[in-house]
Amino acid sequence: MRAFDSERFAEPPTHIAIIMDGNGRWAKARGLPRAAGHQRGAEAVRVAVESCGKLGVSYLTLYAFSSENWKRPPSEVDDLMALLRHYLTREVNVLHGNGVRLRFIGDRASLAGDIKSLIEEAETKTRANAGLTLTVAINYGSHNEILGACKRIARAVSEGALSSDSITEDVFEDFLDTANMPPPDLLIRTSGEQRLSNFLLWQLAYSELVFTDTLWPDFTKRSLEEAVGEYHGRDRRYGTRRG
């Protein structure tokens, strides 16, 4: 019984979400332009995806660009979009080869046309893959996602396709960008900031939160294992009594 319990204890989280923060500070500390930090950040993404695959995680959700990040100087937004283009062009085949299923959340309508096409191609190409589901949040904000869900539900009710009494939590979740995905078990935020910055507010209701001072470009497989170790030390109670 004990052996069985400890085995179960060591099971990896099914879903890890990460707020990848600290690229700018990483660059600043080295006297480099912020773009260099973002570039190193993209390399850390590769490592995180591989490491999650090795740990047996089923879902990895990464916050790449928030709906508030448009407030940054245009040159930085351009650098981030260029990096995204590069990632979508160069990495998708490798991810596809590794059985990764790619999914994107966030409002894609206001992204550049070519980026929108690359996103759609990546989703279509990798749709049938059975490995890690990698969800990338681009132009994502929880408030916008929840409002969008409310508007679509209101429309369905006014068209008679849905009755207001049948709107359960499960039905509501079907209208979110993350439909058909389990909620994150573990949220990691790097760079010492301890806030959610409009990320997955509904979905993180019962997630374990791990904050680390490590800046995102320095985040390694070891950093991920440490965060998972901390997660395993937590007692998830979901409102029940301890013990």
Q: By C-beta, is 34 or 101 nearer to ligand IPE?
A: 34
Q: Which does 108 bind (CB under 5 to 8 A by kind): Mg ion, ligand IPE, none?
A: none
Q: Which residue is nearest to ligand IPE (CB)?
A: 24
- Region 67-126 residues binding ligand IPE, contact defined as CB under 6 A: 69, 80
28-64: string of b/e by CB count within 10 Å (b at 16+)? eeeeeebbbbbbbbbebbeebbebbbebebbbbbbbb
16 binds ligand IPE (CB under 6 A): no
Active site residues: 21, 69
Match 């509904």 to its residue by tokens: 202
Q: Which does 197 bind (CB under 5 to 8 A by kind): Mg ion, ligand IPE, none?
A: ligand IPE
Least distance from C-beta 68 to ligand IPE, angstroms? 6
Beta strand extents in the chain (DSSP E only): 15-19, 59-66, 101-105, 133-140, 186-189, 208-211
| Interaction pattern, residues 219-238, with ligand IPE; x per rule: CB under 6 A | --------------------
Write out 57-87 in H/E/C secondary structure: CCEEEEEEEECCHHHCCHHHHHHHHHHHHHH
Footprint of ligand IPE (CB under 6 A):
19-25, 63-66, 69, 80, 191, 193, 195, 197
